[in-house]
Chains A and B, each alone.
Chain A
Amino acid sequence: DAGITQSPRYKITETGRQVTLMCHQTWSHSYMFWYRQDLGHGLRLIYYSAAADITDKGEVPDGYVVSRSKTENFPLTLESATRSQTSVYFCASSPRGVGYEQYFGPGTRLTVT
C-alpha cells in the first residue's frame, strides 16, 4: 500500500526555469491539496482539487499552476521559479475533503538558486 508519494524528493533549480513537482496517491481520494512549509509561516495552501478536472486557488497561488486529468495525480508546476519559492512542498489527499482529515506525502525540498 504505497499511499501518497511525491517526486522528486529533492530538487535544485535556477531562477526562471520551469519545474514540475509530482504527486500520486493510490487511495482514489477525491480531494487533493498542495501546501508549502516555510519557517515562520507554517503550512500554507497553494491549490486544491475536489475531483479530476476541478481545481481552485488556495492562500498563496501566485506563480504556480496545477492540473488534474486523473484522480490519482496532481502535479504542481512553477512556471518561472523565483528564490521566494524555495520551500518544502507537501501534497495531501482526503477521501471527502470538508470535515475530514488529510493525509500528507513525504514532501519535496525545492531550492531555487
Chain B
Amino acid sequence: EDQVTQSPEALRLQEGESSSLNCSYTVSGLRGLFWYRQDPGKGPEFLFTLYSAGEEKEKERLKATLTKKESFLHITAPKPEDSATYLCAVQAYSSNTGKLIFGQGTTLQVKP
C-alpha cells in the first residue's frame, strides 16, 4: 500500500535556527513528490515537485531534497512568517489519475 509518513508532527524553532523536516514514503514507483505549505484556515500552497533521487529544489529559505526512500525540507535561518504546516504528497506510477497521497504534515512554529 502506498504510504507517506512525515516527522516530526510538530517543530518549534527560534528565529534563525535551521532544521529539517522529513517525509518518508512507500510507493509502487514514484512519479513525483510534492511539498505544500498550509496556513491555518487556507488551502495548501504548492512549493516544490521532485521527480528523481538526487534532485534538489530551492525557494528562498527552503530547500527540498529527494532520495529513493525519503525527502527532506530544509529550512535555513527561518523567520516567524515561515510558521505553517508543511505537507508532503506522492504520486505513484500505479495511478493514471494524478491522485496525490498526503502525509499528516509537520506543523512548524518559529518564534522571534
A residues neighboring B (CB under 8 Å): 31, 33, 40, 42-45, 48, 50, 56, 58-59, 90, 92, 94, 96-107
Contacts and interface: CB of A to CB of B under 8 A. Distances in A.
Contact of B49 (A50, A56, A101): A101
A56 B97 contact: yes
Given A99-B31, A99-B91, A31 B42 contact: no
Nearest to B49: A101
Nearest to B96: A98
Contact of A101 (B46, B96, B103, B105): B46
Contacts of B49: 100-101
Interface of B is mostly: loop
B45 A104 contact: yes
Contact of A58 (B41, B87, B99, B105): B99
Interface of B: 31-32, 34, 36, 41-46, 49, 51, 87, 89, 91, 95-100, 102-105
Contact of A98 (B44, B51, B91, B105): B91
28 contacts: A31-B98, A33-B98, A42-B103, A42-B104, A42-B105, A44-B102, A45-B99, A59-B99, A90-B43, A96-B98, A97-B97, A98-B95, A98-B96, A98-B97, A99-B32, A99-B51, A99-B91, A100-B32, A100-B98, A101-B34, A101-B46, A102-B34, A102-B46, A102-B98, A102-B100, A104-B44, A105-B43, A106-B42
Given A33-B98, A45-B99, A100-B98, 5 more contacts: A33-B99, A42-B87, A103-B46, A104-B36, A106-B42
Nearest to B100: A102
A90 B38 CA distance: 12
Contacts of A40: 104
Contacts of A92: 43
A48 to B, nearest CB: 6
B47 to A, nearest CB: 9
Q: Which of B34, B43, B104 has the largest number of chain A CB atoms within 10 A?
A: B43
A104 B97 contact: no
